[in-house]
Amino acid sequence: MVDTFVCLGSSVNASGGNDSDIRRRIVLARTCMKSLDREIWRSSIALVMVTKLRLYNVYILPVLLYGSDTWNVTEVSRQRLDAFDQWCLRRILRVPYTVHITNVSVPSQTDQPPVSWLVQQRRLKLFGHIARAAASEDHSRAIRASTDRLPVD
């Protein structure tokens, strides 16, 4: 018996929560961000901001958002994800922590949606896929079985 294990890249917890998986994903994405720090984000090469944001969207966000369509995101998890996103964007923009720039102005400079919004969109996309599934499919039967047990008012 174990409390936590990794299966197919996602952390599975005995309590059934997603906080450990979200924390694990943030740590993995932070490691990827730091590995590209000297070569990309803080290099003397004059990379265009659009190129840096594309690299962020291609290399960092997939590591962070892997399996996010099944996450049950709480307010604390949402804040944690958005704080990590702010940290990444500030690093890409080369904004030092001593400069007081609001969290609203950073995404407006980059035209990036918040990570919590991306998670919500992925969850809605998965729900739409399940809702349109044929009645004979396993995931459709599982949803129907769970809703059949709901009390009727």
Neighbours of 18 (CB within 10 A): 21
Q: Which residue, 84, 68, 97, 82, is CA-closest to 30?
A: 84
Report the C-alpha gap between 19 and 16 in whole angstroms: 9
For the chain, what are the domain ranges? 19-148
Report the C-alpha gap between 98 and 54 in whole angstroms: 26
DSSP of 64-97: HHTTGGG----HHHHHHHHHHHHHHHHHHHT--T
Top-confidence residue, 6 or 34: 34
- For position 44, what pLDDT does the model report? 65
What is the chain's mean pLDDT, rounded?
81
pTM as predicted: 0.76
